[in-house]
Copies of this chain bind each other. A is one copy, B any other.
């Protein structure tokens, strides 16, 4: 089961990259095929925003192949990063019916909770299936050691629970497709 991880910030020094790497490790442990889709590699220049760009085409291939998506994103001023929104806006019908799980990241105590609320609205109306189970990575700057290992043990369980719900939906929704075919 291929469920890639969208890393939603392009900022230099982004802590969310550590979270994405942690989630990738957990996804692979969980038996998934996964990879990080880094928003840095899917950015448009200035006015080049057609849905037929090279970036859009490469992103499309991955989304079409995916049985679900994980989004790892920080919260900027209570919303999602602009570069994440620009990337999501490149596609439309490709998302339809795919479950999506969101991991919020912040340097404060809310772990991206408000960003997740806004992102959920976007996802529903892109006809994705956002799961109610989320993981909030709070005080991310203190959460990983110098080797990128997570210091709070409880995140291992949270990640597993999150992946359990997400893959449960992925299976259910693909079972529906099999039944129809």
Binding site for B on A (CB under 8 A): 10-12, 40, 43, 46-50, 76-89, 92, 109-110, 113-114, 117-118, 120-122, 124-133, 138, 168, 171-173, 175-177, 179
Question: CA separation between A128 and B78, bound complex, in Å?
Answer: 13
Partner of A49, one of B11, B88, B132: B11
Identify A121's interface contact among B43, B81, B117, B131, CB under 8 A.
B117
Known pairs A12-B47, A77-B125, A110-B113. 8 more at Cβ < 8 A? A11-B49, A12-B50, A77-B92, A78-B117, A110-B110, A113-B114, A172-B176, A172-B179
Copy number in the complex reads: 4
With A10-B47, A81-B85, A83-B86 in contact, is A124–B124 under 8 Å at CB?
yes
Q: B118, B138, B172: which contacts A175 (Cβ < 8 A)?
A: B172
State whether A77 touches B82 (Cβ < 8 A).
no
Q: How far is the CB of A177 from chain B (nearest CB, A)?
A: 8
With A and B bound together, what is the CA distance between A78 and B124 in angstroms?
Answer: 10
Taking the closest CB of chain B, its distance from the CB of A40, in whole angstroms, is: 6
